[in-house]
């Protein structure tokens, strides 16, 4: 019998995912920071849906869906408040593009249900999408 493989066992409660170092890939924070090294040079979009509040969509954009068409396939991300006990997510939705450097994007907010064409978004940019319009890119 050879040496036992090294294992790292940590409690996953209280974990957070997000792009902690703004390099375009998702990282994990669970007691310690696990930085994702983008060894393959893949690209991603970062989109933050934000609602109007006061009788309109919620200001955190929860329930908003972002749909990007990448290499002929649709990729969907939905803004959620959190996942699991004591865990949370960044308000930025991360859509991996692989080797593509841009993608056509559509956004829908739960209150209106209207799918709005956000146009072709370029990888590496951070875009804030407010119920119906881009406010910062």
Contacting positions for Ca ion (CB under 5 A):
19, 21, 23, 25, 27
Question: What are residue 111's phi and psi, to 5 degrees?
Answer: -70, -40
DSSP summary character for residue 35: P
Q: How far is residue 119's CA from residue 68's CA, in Å, rounded to a whole number?
A: 10
Nearer to Ca ion, 19 or 104 (CB): 19
In the complex, the smallest distance separating the C-beta of residue 19 from Ca ion, rounded to whole angstroms, is: 4
Nearer to Ca ion, 50 or 94 (CB): 94
DSSP summary character for residue 25: S
In the complex, the smallest distance separating the C-beta of residue 46 from Ca ion, rounded to whole angstroms, is: 10
Nearer to Ca ion, 34 or 128 (CB): 34
In the complex, the smallest distance separating the C-beta of residue 81 from Ca ion, rounded to whole angstroms, is: 22
Record the tokens describing residue 34, joined without a space.
């696990």
In the complex, the smallest distance separating the C-beta of residue 117 from Ca ion, rounded to whole angstroms, is: 28
First to last CA, the chain: 57
Q: Do the beta carbons of residue 61 and residue 78 sit within 8 Å?
A: no
Nearer to Ca ion, 25 or 131 (CB): 25
């Amino acid at each position: 019998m050879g040496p036992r493989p090294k294992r790292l066992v940590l409690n996953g409660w209280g974990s957070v995912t997000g792009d902690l170092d703004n390099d375009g890939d998702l990282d994990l924070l669970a007691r310690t920071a696990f930085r994702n090294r983008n060894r393959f040079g893949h690209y991603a979009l970062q989109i933050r849906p934000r609602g109007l509040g006061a009788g309109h969509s919620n200001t955190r954009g929860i329930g908003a869906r972002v749909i990007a068409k990448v290499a002929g396939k649709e990729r969907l991300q939905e803004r959620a408040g959190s996942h699991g006990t004591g865990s949370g997510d960044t308000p930025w939705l991360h859509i991996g593009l692989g080797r593509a450097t841009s993608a056509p994007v559509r956004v829908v907010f739960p209150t209106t249900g209207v799918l709005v064409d956000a146009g072709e978004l370029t990888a590496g940019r951070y875009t804030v999408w407010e119920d119906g319009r881009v406010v910062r890119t």
